[in-house]
Structure 1
Amino acid sequence: MATVNTRVLIISDTHCAPLAEQDEGRQPFAPFKAPLPKADVLIHCGDLTMTGLDAEYHKTLDMLAQIDAPVKLVIPGNHDLTLDRDFVFSHAKKDPKSEAEAHAKVDKARELWTSPDGRAQREGITYLVEGVHQIDLPNGARVTIYASPYTPEFYDWGFPYERDEDRFNSPLRTLSDAKNIAPYPVAPFTHTVVPVDILLTHGPPYARLDQTNRGDFAGCPHLLRALMRSRPLIHCFGHIHEGWGAERVEWSNDADNVADSSASISQWQNGSWKAGVAQQGSAIEKVQTDLDAAKEHHAVFVDVSKEGGQGLKRGEETLLVNAAIMDVEYSPVNAPWIVDIDLPKAIS
């Protein structure tokens, strides 16, 4: 398969943070400032705002407009409340006036991001709804992305599902005590269909770059199962600010069987998933970061292309990236990620 070396810039959880020179006396580590490195495609993994106010969206659009990338892709996150119609509608009082106001609020937010006349479209920014998208890039590559803004229910935020609900797998592959609610299951990796190149979700999979400052693993077990089946080149996300980082996973030869095996949610979380990773779950390599270099160059650079000598083996390895810019105190101190990767050449 012919491929094109492609540079991907990944950010998440910017929460209205501007791209500006920051007070380094206040920030111990602040590489999120202009100019970010030029890329072939920018991906924002959600939490564009704090609460989905119109003014907050425009602050984020101001920031995204400054980034030098011909293709800019975004999904919302749990903080982008007014982009979740179900959330807004469920919080409206049950009278016609309130319901009409709720729908109008969501329509206004969605028009800003999705309408041909909306500001996002004018700025060259594409809002991805849940499901699969194929996008041709100006550099000649074609990227296949599965996108989803949904995360396990956490207090009372947007785009939630219950922790025993599976939003990512087909009914036959759901954990035994989970309720399947997946409208768009993630496709498995095979050589007979177009595989997913980038899995783009707001939240992390279970036990992968998802540990909170309390020591809990906050990621989704069902998403981990879907990840193991689809085995994309990149899985990027955010949501858990303290999970910022990247790691390279090598899948075992038995990954398909493990991801299809019968197991309860607790059995999966307690380690039955590990057989799907090479070396009984230990073939996971943390990406080392040079924070001084990141501060100087405004990003952490990871080269997993053939040209760089560390090319990912499609279907056998996945680079996981938690790209949350904010820390737990909502200071924009984490670095963006620049990933060089080989993507399929677009068919002309």
Structure 2
Amino acid sequence: MLAFDGGPTFVRPPSARPGSCAGADINSAPVADALAKRPAMSSIVQLAYEGRPTPKPHGNYTRFVLLSDTHSKTFPVPDGDVLLHSGDLTRLGTLRDLQQTMEWLYALPHAVKIIIAGNRDFSFDRAWYDQNWEATGRPAVWEPPGPIFELLKGRRARAANIVYLCDETHTFNAGGREWSIYGSPQTPNYRSRARAFGYDAPDAQRILSSFPATDILMTHGPPHGILDRTLTGGHAGCPALAERVSELRPRLHVFGHIHDARGAYAHDWEDTGTQTIFVNAANTPKVVEGGEELSVGGPGWQPVVVDLLN
């Protein structure tokens, strides 16, 4: 059964025994020097770093820069081959919220930028929004779909290399190879609180069975037991998603939604000798340290950097 209760940063060499993660601060001089001299690793993840992340290793790697739950906040983002944003682009799904986020994303230099919606991006889910817009926590002003989707998929988005996915597959070239990605905003409803793109437990199997085999899976919410533990100690991830990921076994599964569980985990599939990197890339803290509120995208909540060996 796919399950993990934790979330350390890690560097895992292929020689590590199946099921293990080797942890290290890859920004320290001794470790950086060791990385340059040792055989190529299948994956390197940087959850936190001072200033800039360690440069991409020499050789045949693709660098992914991961964002999630930015809620209309902006902050510095390191360069890379591919930028992935796993939803909650906005605070409350308004056009104004989205404009702030998209202007930021348009200006980023990444050659490939792929985004999905989250449960707070209310106006993106038109069937839900048209019935529930008065309860979204904003003044009662219905907003039409045209301007929203022009920002997400229109001329400026295309010029900025942005691809918006909503239960769709996309292929792209980066790092000298072709990659496939499937992006879905579908997220379990929490208790009785329905949100955008929400589904109830009885519908989970039907919805998630449509997810295809892919190199990269991007969902808004986590699988059950994988970087999904809340501050109250419960697991908020979807059991059906955990089951489906066990079948698909992507190289990389990116999500967010549960801010408290930000982290990364490498899972080795012993029967096939393959590995999935799971990353909860949430950038918005829900915790306060020493009486001070932490900043969105600030230290410890920066964009996550993942280098995958092609």
Same fold, judged at TM 0.5 (above): yes
Aligned residue among 261, 264, 268 for 1:250: 268
Aligned residue among 150, 161, 186 for 1:111: 150
Deviates more, 1:126-135 or 1:316-325: 126-135
State whether structure 2 residue 141 is matched by structure 1 residue 80. no
Aligned residue among 237, 246, 260 for 1:219: 237
Cα offset, 1:112, TM superposition: 1.7
**Secondary structure of 1:111's match?**
helix
Aligned residue among 91, 97, 100 for 1:56: 97
Q: 2:69–2:284: 8 Å Cα contact kept in structure 1? A: yes
Count of residue pairs the alignment pairs up: 235
Aligned residue among 196, 214, 218 for 1:158: 196
CA deviations on 1:21-77 (whole Å, 9 max, x unpaired) are xxxxxxxxxxxxx2x321001000100011111111111123223433111111010
Instruction: Name the CA distance, whole Å, in 2 between partners of 1:231 and 1:223.
Output: 12
CA deviations on 1:148-182 (whole Å, 9 max, x unpaired) are 0010013232110002322xxxxxxx5xxxxx245
Q: 2:102–2:152: 8 Å Cα contact kept in structure 1? A: no
Instruction: Name the CA distance, whole Å, in 2 between partners of 1:131 and 1:147.
Output: 6
Counterpart of 1:264? none
State whether structure 2 residue 302 is matched by structure 1 residue 335. yes
Aligned residue among 158, 182, 202 for 1:121: 158
Instruction: Name the CA distance, whole Å, in 2 between partners of 1:209 and 1:92.
Output: 31
**Within-5 A mapping of 1:290-329:** 316-328=274-286
Q: CA RMSD for the aligned pairs?
A: 2.2
State whether structure 2 residue 177 is matched by structure 1 residue 141. yes
- The residue type paired with residue 109 of structure 2 is D
CA deviations on 1:77-96 (whole Å, 9 max, x unpaired) are 01111110111122269xxx
Q: Which runs of 5+ in 2 are unaligned?
A: 1-58, 135-140, 288-293
- The residue type paired with residue 133 of structure 1 is H
- The 1:92–1:319 alpha-carbon spacing in structure 2 relative to 1, beyond 3 Å, is closer
Counterpart of 1:65? 106
Relative to the length of structure 1, the TM-score reads: 0.63
**Within-5 A mapping of 1:266-285:** none
- The 1:50–1:92 alpha-carbon spacing in structure 2 relative to 1, beyond 3 Å, is closer
Q: Which runs of 5+ in 1 are unaligned?
A: 20-33, 94-100, 167-173, 175-179, 188-194, 256-312, 344-348
- The 1:12–1:4 alpha-carbon spacing in structure 2 relative to 1, beyond 3 Å, is same
- The 1:231–1:58 alpha-carbon spacing in structure 2 relative to 1, beyond 3 Å, is same
State whether structure 2 residue 259 is matched by structure 1 residue 241. yes
- The 1:39–1:337 alpha-carbon spacing in structure 2 relative to 1, beyond 3 Å, is same
Relative to the length of structure 2, the TM-score reads: 0.70
CA deviations on 1:276-316 (whole Å, 9 max, x unpaired) are xxxxxxxxxxxxxxxxxxxxxxxxxxxxxxxxxxxxx5xx2
Q: 2:78–2:303: 8 Å Cα contact kept in structure 1? A: no
- The residue type paired with residue 249 of structure 2 is R
